[in-house]
Amino acid sequence: EVQLVESGGDLVQPGRSLRLSCVASGFTFDTYAMHWVRQAPGKGLEWVSSISWNSGTIRYADSVKGRFTISRDNAKNSLYLQMNSLRSEDMALYYCAALGSDYWGQGTLVSVSS
């Protein structure tokens, strides 16, 4: 059974940092490009970032470029999102996904408020 389990979401103050994690199982993680997609409360979906299977190609949405860093550890079947300089508009449910095969986690909630 394919599973993607995100963690690390929390309530943080503006300007602070947070690191999200996603652990994969049930598929060959190290052959898949992985993505982070977010959804603000009551809003639509926003693609955030992607990383190729070997970390050789990394892309970001303009809204997070320079503040967020995506990474992966294939030995640990894990995907990460380091989020710095958090803003109120970053508040959302963050999904880890292998979009090419439609594998999604359940999401982890990031709240940004003073």
Partner 1 sequence: AIQMTQSPSSLSASVGDRVTVTCRASQGIRNDLGWYQQKPGKAPKLLIYAASSLQSGVPLRFSGSGSGTNFTLTISSLQPEDFATYYCLQDYNYPWTFGQGTKVEIK
Residue 68 in the binding site for partner 1 (CB under 8 A): no
Residue 2 in the binding site for partner 1 (CB under 8 A): no
Judged by CB under 8 A, the number of residues near partner 1 is: 18
Among 18, 50, 51, 70, binds partner 1 (CB under 8 A): 50
Burial string for 69-95 (b: 16+ CB within 10 Å, else e) reads bbebebeebbbbbebeebeeebbbbbb
Task: For residue 49, list its beta bridge partners.
Answer: 36, 60
Residue 27 in the binding site for partner 1 (CB under 8 A): no
Residue 66 in the binding site for partner 1 (CB under 8 A): no
Distance CA 2, CA 9 (A): 22
Span near partner 1 by CB under 8 A; candidates 18-26, 54-62, 71-79, 83-91 = 54-62
Residue 24 in the binding site for partner 1 (CB under 8 A): no
Distance CA 20, CA 4 (A): 13
Contact residues toward partner 1 (CB under 8 A) are 37, 44-47, 50, 59-62, 95, 97, 99, 102, 104-107
